Structure formats: structure tokens, C-alpha cells
Amino acid sequence: MKALLQRVSQASVSIDGAEVARIDTGLLVLVGLEPGDNQQSLEKMLHKLLNYRVFADEQERMNKSLTDIQGGLLLVSQFTLAADTRSGLRPGFSTAAAPAQAEALFAQLVQMAQARYAKVQTGQFGADMQVQLVNDGPVTFMLEV
């Protein structure tokens, strides 16, 4: 499982011109699911997302987590993160979870996040989404579990 975490001052997702999700200060997380992912990897990733210290404290050091600042969490399924890009000039997707597995895992991740944290928004699995963001910093991290 891979997650591209971006600290944002705002982010939104639109589908067919209609906004379906929006957050202000918080994290936009693009989630790439792989065949070996399971309940345990979802638990580990969610723990990291909620507790990873990427927000500034009073001394301007990255010492606060999403839960510390009570920011928004915007989860967006992004199967291209799981692509194999090691060779050639075209990505391969055999390293990504099959669509049915990925959809079930992503739905489970969203449900778990919503059960543990009040400010969760999400895109729509499999949709052609337009994601807009203002990356704060910029601060971007690739997390893997």
C-alpha cells in the first residue's frame, strides 16, 4: 500500500464539474492499493495518516499531526501509484490490486477513517476526478506499509 500524503491549505475533488469533496487545512492523500494489502496494512496506514507529524508547532518545526491540528483528511483512490515504472516508457499495472479488491479495500479504509476521525472526505472510486490542491510548503511524503 502506498499513500502520497500532501499537506494542503485547501483541496477539493470534482466529478463532471460538480464538487464532491473539499477540505481546508489538512492532508490530501492519494492511495495506491496493491495485491498483498489487507486489514493490517489498512490499520497501519490509517495510524500513520492520522499521526504523522507534518504540521508546524510553535517553533515552526514539523511536530504536529493531523489529529493535533484537527485538519481535514481527503482520501482519493489512485491506482497509478501502484504502477511498475522500473523499466520502459510506459507504466505497468500488474503491481496494482485488481479493481474489485482495490475498491473493497479503499471503502474499508474510508469507513475506518470515518469511524476514528470526524473530518474525512473522499473522492469516488474509479471515477474520472479532477483534484485541486494548494500544497502548503510544499510538503509531500510517500508512505508505504
Cell of residue 94, nine digits: 500488474
Is 124 assigned a catalytic role?
no
Burial label for 115, CB within 10 Å (0-12, 13-18, 19+), is exposed
Provide the residue count of the chain.
145
H-type alpha helices, 28-91:
39-51, 66-69
User: Which of 80, 85, 111, 124 is labelled catalytic?
Assistant: 80
User: Which of 55, 79, 106, 125 is labelled catalytic?
Assistant: 79
User: Which of 6, 78, 121, 122 is labelled catalytic?
Assistant: 78
Contact indicator for 110, 120 with CB cutoff of 8 Å = yes
Q: Across-strand partners of 109? A: none
Is 80 assigned a catalytic role?
yes
Nearest to 49 by CA among 24, 79, 22, 76: 76
Is 79 assigned a catalytic role?
yes
As annotated, the active-site residues are 78-80
